[in-house]
Structure 1
Amino acid sequence: MSIWLFLLFSILKVAVVTAIFLGGVAYTVLLERKVVGRIQNRWGPSRVGPFGLWQPMVDGLKLFLKEDFIPAGVYRPLYLTAPLIALGCSLLSIAVVPFGSQDITVHGVKVFELADLNIGLLVLLGVTSMSIYGIALAGWSSNNKYSLLGSLRSSAQMISYELALGLSLVGVVLRTGSFSLADIVKAQSAHGALSWNILGGGQIIAFLIYITAAYAETNRAPFDLPEAETELVAGYHTEYSSMKFAMFFMAEYGNMITVSCVATLLFFGGWNSPFGHLFPEPQNIVIQALLALFWFIIKVFFFLFLYIWVRGTLPRFRYDQLMGFGWRYLLPIAMLNIVGTSLVLSALMANS
Structure 2
Amino acid sequence: MTDRATELLDWYDSNRRRLPWRAEPGRASDPYAVWLSEVMLQQTTVATVKDYFARFMALWPTVDALAAAPLDDVLKEWAGLGYYARARNLHKCANAVVTDHGGRFPDNEAGLRALPGVGDYTAAAIAAIAFGEAAAVVDGNVERVISRLNRLEEELPGAKKSIKALTAAITPTKRPGDFAQAMMDLGATVCTPKKPKCLLCPWVKACAARAAGDAERFPMKAPKKEKPTRRTVAFWLIHDGHVLLERRAPKGLLGGMPGLFSTPWTERADFPAKPEWLDHKPSDDYWKPVDGTAKHTFTHFHLETRLVAAKASQRYNIENGFWHPLEALQDVGLPTVFKKMASLAAKG
Give TM-score, length-normalised by structure 1: 0.24
Bigger proportion of residues as helix: 1
Bigger proportion of residues as strand: 2
Higher relative contact order, structure no. (Cα contacts within 8 Å, ≥ 6 residues apart): 1
Give TM-score, length-normalised by structure 2: 0.24
